[in-house]
Structure formats: C-alpha cells, structure tokens
Amino acid sequence: MIQINTGDSRPIYEKVKDSLRQLIISGALGADSKLPSVRELAVSLTINPNTIQRAYRELEQEGYIVSVPGKGSFVSRDRSALEARKVKLTEQLLALAAEFDELGVTREELAAIIKEERDT
C-alpha cells in the first residue's frame, strides 16, 4: 500500500501523509475505503504508531479522511478537500512561475522543465 522513500529527508509522518493523500487523489483509495488501523500500518511500515496517528490527524484536518470512533478511519466522501488542494497548488505554482519569470526563465523553458520531469 505505502512505501516510504528513505532517501527523502522530510519527517516520516509527512511521507506517510503524502503517500496516503496521493492514493486518495489518484482514486486508488476510493470514497468510504477503510484505512488500515494506526497499529496495523505502523507494524507494516515498522514505524512508531504516533507517527501514523499524526499523519491520520493531519489528513483528517485537511478533509481527506474521517475517523469514526470504534470503527476506524475512512476516505472522505467530501471532495472539497481535493478542490481546496488544487487551489492551494495553483497558488503555489503561480508564485513559482512569477519567481522563475524574475530570474529570466521563459515560459517555454519552464514548460520544458515540467515536461521533462513528467516524462521521467
């Protein structure tokens, strides 16, 4: 289900959160899908349960998952979290594009950078 990139220097909870978010966004985990329990995922990834709990808590705060006491965590039916993420990423992209523009990078060069990255 989730694989953690050990070469990534970010905190483990962020890697777990990003992996789960990607599975949700891609549709690999559909609405109402039950997530593994904190303990199950911690054991399978051999990491501290508190790390998984933090990732789940943040995903819930972002609206990607919902926790049902006594039943577990599930992928949210509410797709507004996905739309909010698109808005946030668009804002970040526009800010980066403006910074590239200030550095003299043309739109064509920027498009080539993005295309090259997507093709790898």
Q: How does pLDDT run across 23-50, given as a tens digit for each residue?
A: 998 899 999 999 999 999 999 999 999 9
Residue 102 has pLDDT above 90, yes or no: yes
The predicted structure's pLDDT at residue 81: 80
Q: In angstroms, rounded to a whole number, what is the distance separating the alpha carbons of residues 106 and 12?
A: 36
Contact 41, 35 (CB under 8 A): yes
The predicted structure's pLDDT at residue 18: 93
Work out the percent of the chain whose per-residue pLDDT is above 70.
99
Q: In angstroms, rounded to a whole number, what is the distance separating the alpha carbons of residues 116 and 112?
A: 6
The predicted structure's pLDDT at residue 109: 92
Report the interhelical angle of 49-62 vs 80-102 (nearest 10°). 90
